[in-house]
């Protein structure tokens, strides 16, 4: 397998996006039904024995509705759009973007799971701007998810849009539904991987990409 030439901290990225496109940090909120969520949140507050009309809670239903608009922003987005602008580059070495921070919602409990995604591909003529990999992760994360699906959606989107020789996604995340409630296993981290193309078929390539992804082992999930 060709050796890695790019190993980039996403926080160092220059963003070359079109100025009209919403930035990943400020992804346009989803158009959620605000009154309906407000009503539901008010009902939850009553159901748990709270007084939704006390001063501290009076604006809470609206705040929660707006927060869901942000947390679900990916639902009305097609994250694959970020892979449509490609450079036809004669570049045949691995591109790896490591430690892409993300925040998602576990679809079982609607509680956050947060962590880092490591995304790589071995191009076959088509290369995208690195920030697009971060936007891809963000778009798939901002919706009710399970970590396995998030991981495969990212790897599959890269395979389908860029037709590379291989793609890989590894995600390390902490699920608050397991740390703050339920099993209450603080410090447990879920790790998932999706390998496609050469990274799935060739054991040497698979070992190399996984060791590169883990080499800065993310104890910082
Ligand atoms: N595989 C997988 N499981 C998840 C993910 N997010 C949450 N879960 C799990 O989904 C499961 C839902 O289990 P249920 O038995 O239906 O729900 P529950 O009674 O709240 O389960 P506990 O969390 O064990 O209390 C739990 O085991 C969670 O830990 C995820 O991304 N992937
Ligand atoms: Zn959960």
Q: For position 120, what pLDDT does the model report?
A: 97
Bridge partners of residue 190, in order along the sequence: 173
**Cβ contacts of residue 77 below 8 Å, gap of 6+?**
27, 139, 142
- Does residue 28 lie within any of the structural domains? no
Residue 188 CA, ligand 1 centroid: distance in Å: 14
Residue 29 CA, ligand 2 centroid: distance in Å: 23
Q: For position 57, what pLDDT does the model report?
A: 98
Q: For position 148, what pLDDT does the model report?
A: 98
- Does residue 220 lie within any of the structural domains? no
In a shared domain, residues 39 and 67: yes
Q: For position 205, what pLDDT does the model report?
A: 94
- Does residue 188 lie within any of the structural domains? yes
Q: For position 27, what pLDDT does the model report?
A: 83
Measured in degrees and rounded to the nearest 5, phi and psi for residue 75 equal -65, -30
Q: CA 19, 118, 207 angle in degrees (round to 5)?
A: 145
Q: CB–CB of 210/170 below 8 Å?
A: yes
Q: For position 25, what pLDDT does the model report?
A: 52
- pTM score: 0.86
Range of the domain at 185: 6-14+81-214
In a shared domain, residues 180 and 202: yes
Say if residue 41 is exposed, middle or buried (CB neighbours under 10 Å; 0-12, 13-18, 19+): buried
Q: For position 26, what pLDDT does the model report?
A: 66
pLDDT along the chain (221 residues), means of 10: 41 41 64 95 98 98 96 94 91 94 97 97 95 97 98 98 97 96 91 98 95 70 57
Measured in degrees and rounded to the nearest 5, phi and psi for residue 188 equal -80, 140
Say if residue 26 is exposed, middle or buried (CB neighbours under 10 Å; 0-12, 13-18, 19+): exposed
Q: For position 30, what pLDDT does the model report?
A: 84
With residues binned 3-state (H G I as helix, E B as strand, rest as coil), the percentages for the chain, rounded to 5, are 40, 25, 35
- Does residue 221 lie within any of the structural domains? no
CA dist 80 and 166 (Å) reads 17
> Within 100-217, where are the H helices?
130-141, 147-162, 176-179, 198-201, 203-214
CA-CA distances (angstroms) from residue 1 to 40, 93, 141? 53, 8, 30
Residues labelled as active-site residues: 106-109, 147, 175, 177
Q: Mutate which of 102, 108, 149 to test ligand 1's pocket (most atoms within 8 Å of Cβ)?
A: 108
Among residues 75, 145, 141, 73, which one has the least CA distance to residue 107?
A: 145
Number of structural domains (the chain) is 2
What residues line ligand 1, using a CB cutoff of 6 Å?
Answer: 106, 108, 146-148, 175, 177-178, 182-183
Q: For position 8, what pLDDT does the model report?
A: 39
In a shared domain, residues 93 and 50: no
Does the annotation place 11 within a ligand binding site? no
The CATH number covering residue 55 comes to 1.10.286.10
Q: For position 92, what pLDDT does the model report?
A: 87
- Does residue 115 lie within any of the structural domains? yes
Measured in degrees and rounded to the nearest 5, phi and psi for residue 99 equal 60, 45
Q: CB–CB of 160/167 below 8 Å?
A: no
């Amino acid at each position: 397998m060709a050796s890695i030439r790019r190993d980039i901290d996403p926080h160092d990225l220059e963003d070359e996006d079109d100025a009209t496109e919403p930035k990943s940090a400020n992804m346009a909120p989803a158009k959620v039904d605000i009154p309906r969520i407000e009503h539901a949140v008010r009902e939850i507050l009553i159901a748990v024995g709270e007084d939704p009309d006390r001063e501290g809670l009076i604006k809470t239903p609206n705040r929660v509705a707006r927060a869901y608009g942000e947390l679900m922003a990916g639902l009305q987005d097609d994250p694959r759009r970020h892979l449509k602008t490609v450079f036809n580059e004669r570049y045949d070495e691995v591109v790896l973007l490591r430690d892409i921070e993300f925040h998602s919602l576990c679809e079982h409990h609607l509680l956050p799971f947060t962590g880092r995604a490591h995304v790589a591909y071995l191009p076959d003529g088509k290369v995208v701007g690195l920030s697009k990999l971060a936007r891809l992760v963000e778009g798939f994360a901002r919706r009710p998810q399970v970590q396995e699906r998030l991981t495969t959606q990212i790897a599959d989107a890269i395979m389908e849009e860029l037709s590379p020789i291989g793609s890989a996604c590894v995600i390390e995340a902490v699920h608050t539904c397991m740390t703050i409630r339920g099993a209450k296993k603080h410090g447990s981290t879920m790790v998932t991987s999706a390998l496609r193309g050469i990274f799935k078929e060739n054991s040497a390539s698979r070992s190399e990409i996984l060791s590169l992804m883990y080499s800065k082992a993310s104890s910082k999930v």
